[in-house]
Amino acid sequence: MQTLTLANIYELQGLKDEALEIYKEILKKDPSNSDAKIAIRRLSGMRKKFLNVNLQMKDFFLKMDSDIEFNEFERWLLKWN
């Protein structure tokens, strides 16, 4: 069963294409579903906006597990803001 919850789980696991397909199916069945519309815009836009992502910092972000690492990442973000 394709639900918003399943699509959200896929999205959180990094399975963006799978999540996007579920959101599209939900929107076909319920064209007024605002959650699906927002998710489709978000996921479709990600592909265009983040082509030049800093892969080293992305990997660091995904693996950080301490306050020190969080603070380091936050400083890096502020530097580029």
Q: Please give the pLDDT value at position 51.
A: 59
Q: Please give the pLDDT value at position 81.
A: 56
Task: State pTM to two decimals.
Answer: 0.56
Q: Please give the pLDDT value at position 49.
A: 54
Phi, psi for residue 66 in degrees, rounded to 5: -145, 160
48/69 Cα distance (integer angstroms): 28
pLDDT tens digits in sequence order for the chain, 81 residues long: 789 999 999 988 989 999 999 999 999 999 999 999 999 998 887 555 555 667 888 888 888 899 999 899 888 888 875
Q: How many CB atoms lie within 10 A of CB 76?
A: 14
Distance between first and last Cα of the chain: 41
List all residues 6 or more positions away from 22 whose beta carbon is below 8 Å from its beta carbon: 2, 3, 6, 7, 10
